[in-house]
Structure formats: C-alpha cells, structure tokens
Structure 1
C-alpha cells in the first residue's frame, strides 16, 4: 500500500527528536517535533503552507507577532508568507506534528536538537518516501 497510515498521536508523543520527517509525498510532508521546556522552533517564514497539531504539552503560537496559548488538541494553520514561531512555555516537552504543503525538508531527515537543525542547511530535494 502506498501512503501513510499509522497512529500519529502515539508517534508524536513517543518522539523525542527536535525534528523527524516521517513521510514525504509529492505535495505534502509529515514531520514529528518535540520541543524541550522553554525551547522554540525559531521565528521563520515559508513560501508554503504549514499545519501544526499539539499532542502533548503547552506553549504559544506566534503568527505575525500575535501570541496565542496552545495546548494538547490545538491545531495551528500557518499560511505561506506568515512569520511564525512555536514556543514551549511549559515544564514538560511539547510534542506535536506538522504538515508542510509542499514538502520543506529532505525525506527521512532527523535533527536530534534545534542546534542540529540550525547547523544543517538541508531542504527538500524532490525525493519522496515512495
């Protein structure tokens, strides 16, 4: 079977990596993320749309300077061109997943920490999971 069918909540909650690309299709990409307490993704702007879903923890979503408290069960949609950041404001890891449309990272890439992600100037190279 082509495609991705798994328990995304379980995968997200068990993930301890800052970023783990788990599936890349031609037009979208599924990525797990875990932010340590007080850690943030870092303010960024994409030329693509992005969706976040919080599976565990609490934090803030910042979209064009507007801060909104987020917690387990919250979704955040970031249209292309919007400056955004996700910040863990809690005392436990913030576990989430994100969808990029179109893909943004190399398929299968794992960044153990934000520092690893910042040091790796990788981008989607056109190769999909299948």
Structure 2
C-alpha cells in the first residue's frame, strides 16, 4: 500500500511502516493520531497559516519531538513562561525537542498550512484521536496544559 492509498488513522499498537513525511503532507486535520503504543505516540498536525499555532502550553509527564515537513514556523520555549530561552524560526527538515515541564508554542508564520509530525513519550492523546481544528481539540481534550486556552 502506498501512502496515497493509506488511510490516516491510528495503527497502534501493531507493527507499522510508513513514510512519515508523506503522511504528514497528506494530513489535513489539526491533529491525527497515526500510531499509539504503550510507551510513545506519533501524531500528524496541520497548523493553519498566518499565525495559527499550537498555543503556549506545558506538558507534565511528556517529552515531545516535532519535525517540520512543510511551511515556515516559529518556536518559543523555556522552563519559565515569562523568560523563554528559545525564540527561533524553523523550516522544513528541522526538529523541535521539548523536554518535560517546558513551556512551548509553535506558530505558523507562513502563508501556507504548516505540516509536521510529533512524537510524544509517554502517550499524550487517546488512541484514535482526530481533531479537525485547534478549537475542536480544546473541546475534546480540554484547555491546553498550563494555559487558559
């Protein structure tokens, strides 16, 4: 099965092989879980252009890895929400590594949808989650950790 034929759904916890870049490009949802196992999870994200973002948040109990496939982003991170130590533009092929208990936001600063994939360890979202927009994600999962959003 090619990635064009592949349905974007949660294939975990079964063995699975995929071109993550192509799966991320194919994804049109804000968040789609692609694989959920016992110890980590892969999600695909499509962030709207011109200022769409993940939202400033902090995870307690999760490390996160984000790889940018398409678009132009900007990342802000730090242990103190009022004193962020990373403030950097990112382009396709670059990764963001977010340790546990680190404030972070990723903003789409371009004029096209930003496509990326994210790995959480341990698992962050319920198996099979698909959220078409950030607003839907907040309705389904609640406010972003540490924010009023």
Q: TM-score, normalised by structure 1?
A: 0.90
Q: What RMSD over aligned residues (CA atoms) do the two structures have, in Å?
A: 1.3
1:112 aligns with 2:132: yes
Q: Does 1:35 align with 2:47?
A: yes
CA distance in 2, matches of 1:60, 1:27: 28
Aligned-pair CA distance for 1:99: 0.2
- Name which of 1, 26, 44 aligns with 2:57: 44
**In structure 1, C-alpha distance between the alignment counterparts of 2:28 and 2:91, rounded to whole Å:** 18
- Aligned counterpart in structure 2 of residue 20 of structure 1, from 3, 10, 32: 32
Which of residues 44, 62, 72 is equivalent to 1:58? 72
Q: Distance in 2 between matches of 1:3 and 1:85?
A: 31
Q: What stretches of structure 1 of length at least 5 have no aligned partner?
A: 123-130
Cα offset for 1:4? 2.2
* Deviation (angstroms), 1:3: 2.1
Cα distance in 2 between the residues matched to 1:115 and 1:55: 23
TM-score with structure 2 length normalisation?
A: 0.79
Runs (4+) of structure 1 exceeding 4 A deviation are: none
What are the Cα deviations for residues 22-52 of structure 1, in whole angstroms up to 9, with x where unaligned?
1001110000000011100001111210000
Q: Which has the larger radius of gyration?
A: 2
Q: Which runs of 5+ in 2 are unaligned?
A: 1-13, 79-83, 143-149
